[in-house]
Amino acid sequence: MGGDPVPIGRRVAYLRVRRRLSQQSFADRLGKSKSWVDKVERGVRSLERVSTIRDVAAVLRVDASALLGRDVQPVGVAEQREGVARIRAALSAYEMAFGRPTDREVMSPDRLAREVRHAWMTYQHARYPRLVELLPTLVTEVHRAHALKAEVGRAAVVVVEAYRVTAALLVKLGEGSLAWLAADRAMSAAAGDPVLLACAAVQLGQVLRASARAGPVLLAAASQIAPGKPEELSLRGSLLVQAALIAARAGDDRVVGELLDQAAELAAQVGDGHDHHRTAFGPTAVELARVAAAVELGDGPQAIARHEKAIGWDGWRGLPVEHRAAHLIDAARAYLQTDDPANAARVLLRAERLAPAEIRERPAVRDMVAQVARDPDAPPTITQLAIGLGVL
């Protein structure tokens, strides 16, 4: 190629073929004629308008930079992939399970518990890049402690909690299969203990949000928790919330309402301002779940009305940073459902100020930022964020 850049028309043709689109189907998705596409690909017609380049990139499911010859990955993607690879390697290691010798002592349950608490705090403050760095070592230590049966009763708790936080992070990063592995490990380690099993099931619900078959599993776990102390009420209520969100994904609004009403009754007994078993369960959390459920059911107006009310509650400020930022992303989806890109941009920018990693590290959210930024009515600030993320 002699170092000359590939013409944009040839890039369009290559990417179109790779997407298995004919010129006609590609033209139809763009709202253009087949002749227009042919001329672009042959270089007879140039692509100069930024809006047109963005439209072409959106149909081809690539960044605009790929069309312009700037094969740049979004900010932090390479580092994130490397980190996930290290977590995958740690989850795949079974040396201690086969009795291989080691010259290192197993981390004490007390220290391991401290490390797990630190991991959860890092997660709840939405410091995902830092947690990606911490988890490979933590998972390795958990394996060693679990395999050597170090103080089994105490170790079981930290093992379950370590796998829970690992699953929670991997869901954020869009690593569904690996998240399921971590959640499944948590369920296995919790076997025989109803409370630990319920804790593990909370993350299982997050991982299997799209699977209607997971709902009965969560409800079964909830039924094993006898209502009593706020800690148990929080677990039971959180499982009802997760089951409701699964039902919402399936479009069952009746079940959604019933489960969230039950969760609200429990939440009223627990109150806001608590984080029992890392659930942050309370009345505000249930109200935010109603917003998320409404979004899943496609009821943007209801979601927006509940969102605008809930963020004024005292309980809103007491929620973990991660929880609040994730809710703002749900609110952005609701605004998009009502064709309001300006407010979608506003809450996304608010989420980015609150928890930058919630925007920058989540693939699905980066895609949303790009979608909003492409709208002609979007404010310049969201366009600047999209460019900074490398998605526009």
Q: Quick check: 190 and 160 in contact, CB under 8 A?
A: yes
Residue 95 has pLDDT above 60, yes or no: no
Residues above pLDDT 90, as percent of the chain: 65
Short-list 266, 2, 47, 35, CA closest to 12: 47
Q: Per-residue pLDDT tens for 335-347?
A: 999 999 999 999 9
* 340: its two tokens: 């309001």
**DSSP code, position 272:** S
Instruction: Tell me which range, 77-86, 132-141, 319-328, is most confidently predicted by mean pLDDT.
Output: 319-328
- Residue that is written with structure tokens 């790929």 in the block: 66
Spatial separation of the C-alpha atoms in residues 75 and 357, rounded to whole Å: 11
**Least confident window among 62-66, 140-144, 264-268:** 62-66
**Least confident window among 46-55, 90-99, 208-217, 383-392:** 90-99
Residue 230 has pLDDT above 50, yes or no: yes
* 11: its two tokens: 């890039």
Spatial separation of the C-alpha atoms in residues 326 and 348, rounded to whole Å: 10
Q: Quick check: 204 and 214 in contact, CB under 8 A?
A: yes
Residue 312 has pLDDT above 70, yes or no: yes
> What pLDDT shows up at residue 210?
82
Which conformational region is residue 280 in: left (phi greater than 0), alpha (psi within -120 to 50 degrees), or beta? left
Residue 49 has pLDDT above 60, yes or no: yes
Short-list 222, 227, 161, 156, CA closest to 194: 222
> What pLDDT shows up at residue 73?
56
Spatial separation of the C-alpha atoms in residues 331 and 316, rounded to whole Å: 14
pTM of the complete model: 0.80
> Who wins on pLDDT, 81 or 207?
207
Taking residue 78's Cβ as centre, other Cβ atoms within 10 Å add up to: 10
**Least confident window among 75-84, 242-251, 289-298:** 75-84
Q: Per-residue pLDDT tens for 274-283?
A: 999 999 999 9
Q: Quick check: 371 and 59 in contact, CB under 8 A?
A: no
Q: For the CA atoms of 122, 293, 291, 272, what is the dihedral angle to 10 degrees?
A: -60
Spatial separation of the C-alpha atoms in residues 223 and 225, rounded to whole Å: 5
Q: Per-residue pLDDT tens for 24-33?
A: 999 999 999 9
Short-list 356, 342, 347, CA closest to 388: 356
Which conformational region is residue 138 in: left (phi greater than 0), alpha (psi within -120 to 50 degrees), or beta? alpha
> What pLDDT shows up at residue 119?
98
Please report which helix (H) or strand (E) contains residue 361, including its range: none
Q: What is the DSSP string of 208-235?
A: TTT-TTHHHHHHHHHHTS-S-SHHHHHH
> What pLDDT shows up at residue 213?
86
pLDDT band per the 50, 70, 90 thresholds, residue 47 = confident
Please report which helix (H) or strand (E) contains residue 63, including its range: none
CA angle 31, 37, 38 (to 5 degrees): 150
> What pLDDT shows up at residue 114?
95
Q: Per-residue pLDDT tens for 11-25?
A: 788 788 878 899 999
**Least confident window among 136-145, 192-201, 348-357:** 136-145
Q: Per-residue pLDDT tens for 36-45?
A: 999 998 888 8
Residue 328 has pLDDT above 50, yes or no: yes
Q: Quick check: 390 and 75 in contact, CB under 8 A?
A: yes
> What pLDDT shows up at residue 359?
95
**Least confident window among 209-218, 302-311, 320-329:** 209-218
How much is the average pLDDT of 350-370?
A: 94
Spatial separation of the C-alpha atoms in residues 239 and 225, rounded to whole Å: 10
- CATH number for the region 8-67 comes to 1.10.260.40
pLDDT band per the 50, 70, 90 thresholds, residue 125 = very high
CA angle 218, 220, 226 (to 5 degrees): 105
The residues spanned by each domain of the chain are 8-67, 73-207
Q: Per-residue pLDDT tens for 143-199?
A: 887 665 545 556 789 999 999 999 999 999 999 999 999 999 999 999 989 999 999
- Residue that is written with structure tokens 């593990």 in the block: 200
